[in-house]
């Protein structure tokens, strides 16, 4: 299975990925006649070395008549999705409207993009990382004029926050991570708090200080385009936070002083965006004599289908400030000054072929607490995704890898986390 668009062998954006993001194209000279100006953020995907403008694909009708496919043991049938309007959805400056659709819409859009990117000389087939049969659609391959307008080099693309983030929750999902941080603050004997094996422990972060990764903006971007960044001003540096620091970490009685953080730290995390329509029941409002929508919690099976996709996240941390301030209500100024995320959202569909057991194997084994019924995940597991961190000093172009990990090192599953927040 191959694409007619060149995809380097080491590319992150092969047919197995097809992520979603928000981009603008300040260097483009081919967008002057289109409905959105080059500096206007719009929804995009990526293949090979190119960002693809989904707004223009929709305007050309290439995302019309999407199919929802259902399968049973006896048959497989498809029907056209009628309540989805791609021209409106993909002209938005965020992915929020797209993410608010049901999962079958996300799947249908991604399948259509795969068919448009697939070389028409390829036969309908599947591979290890694309577990469905895709029939090539040659309408983009044969339209050179549309290609020149909707395909843009990644090197000259300006990336934006993929969504307007109203809230986010930070979870302690990895036992290894929770243990390491616990040792840092409380010593080895009290590393895990008593509640940690009973429920996903989390806290609300400050969404106003979530920024796109510093590596995600084209260096040739014009100033007027940079002012269009979703979520605020373009961040060029992380400001070192100030707060209270213990005079003597071994003797709290000596009090604290005020000053800049001296123990700035990073956290390698994977974040996920939650989507789908509002989860509601209807109850009779006796005052207004009509039914009113009421939110209700998600089940674990519902929570799995609400995960739209994943990004890398660095939750910057001021450890010396955090150690003094976090008792009893948790982190405050030590954790809310900057959170950076990668700008391409890798869909849950793309990661499904990499599903695996977690490093824990099971929850509640070996005499440890068994999760309460609402937290028992029938599909308990994670994904085999290698992760690493490298540091590159400003004085050199060389970087040094300082740690490696894997997304399978999880105790609480991703649906465990999402079901407790919705």
Active site residue ranges = 177
Q: Distance between CA 265 and CA 258 in Å, rounded?
A: 19
Element (H or E) spanning 2, and its range? none
Give the distance, in angstroms, between the CA of residue 172 and the centroid of all CA atoms in the same chain: 17
């Amino acid at each position: 299975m191959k694409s007619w668009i060149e995809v380097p062998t080491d590319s992150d954006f092969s047919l197995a990925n097809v992520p979603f993001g928000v981009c603008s194209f300040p260097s483009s000279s081919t967008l002057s006649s289109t409905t959105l100006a080059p500096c206007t953020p719009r929804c995009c995907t990526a293949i090979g070395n190119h960002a693809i403008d989904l707004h223009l694909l929709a305007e050309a009708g290439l995302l019309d008549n999407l199919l929802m496919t259902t399968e049973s043991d006896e048959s497989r049938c498809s029907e056209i999705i009628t309540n989805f309007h791609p021209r409106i959805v993909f002209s938005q400056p965020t992915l929020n409207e797209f993410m608010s659709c049901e999962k079958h819409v996300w799947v249908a859009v991604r399948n259509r993009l795969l068919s448009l990117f697939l070389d028409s000389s390829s036969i309908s087939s599947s591979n290890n990382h694309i577990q469905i049969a895709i029939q090539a659609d040659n309408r983009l391959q044969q339209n050179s004029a549309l290609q020149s307008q909707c395909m843009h080099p990644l090197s000259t693309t300006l990336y934006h926050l993929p969504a307007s983030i109203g809230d986010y929750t930070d979870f302690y999902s990895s036992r290894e991570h929770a243990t390491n941080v616990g040792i840092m603050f409380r010593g080895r004997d009290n590393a895990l708090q008593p509640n940690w094996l009973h429920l996903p422990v989390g806290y609300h972060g400050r969404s106003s200080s979530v920024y796109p990764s510093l590596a995600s903006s084209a260096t040739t971007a014009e100033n007027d385009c940079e002012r269009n960044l979703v979520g605020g001003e373009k961040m060029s540096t992380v400001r070192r936070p100030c707060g209270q620091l213990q005079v003597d970490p071994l003797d709290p009685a000596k009090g604290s002083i005020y000053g800049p953080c001296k123990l700035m730290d990073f956290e390698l995390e994977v974040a996920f965006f939650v989507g789908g329509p509002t989860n509601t029941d209807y109850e009779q409002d006796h005052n207004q004599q009509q039914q009113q929508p009421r939110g209700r919690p998600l089940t674990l099976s519902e929570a799995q289908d609400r995960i739209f996709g994943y990004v890398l996240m660095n939750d910057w941390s001021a450890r010396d400030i955090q150690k003094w301030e976090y008792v009893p209500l948790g982190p405050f100024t030590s954790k809310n000054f900057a959170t950076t995320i990668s700008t391409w959202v890798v869909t849950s569909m793309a990661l499904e072929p990499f599903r695996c057991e977690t490093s824990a194997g099971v929850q509640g084994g070996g005499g440890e607490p068994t999760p309460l019924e609402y937290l028992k995940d029938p599909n308990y597991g994670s994904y085999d995704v290698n992760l690493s961190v490298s540091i590159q000093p400003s004085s050199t172009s060389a970087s040094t890898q300082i740690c490696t990990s894997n997304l399978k090192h999880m105790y609480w599953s991703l649906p465990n986390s999402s079901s407790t927040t919705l």
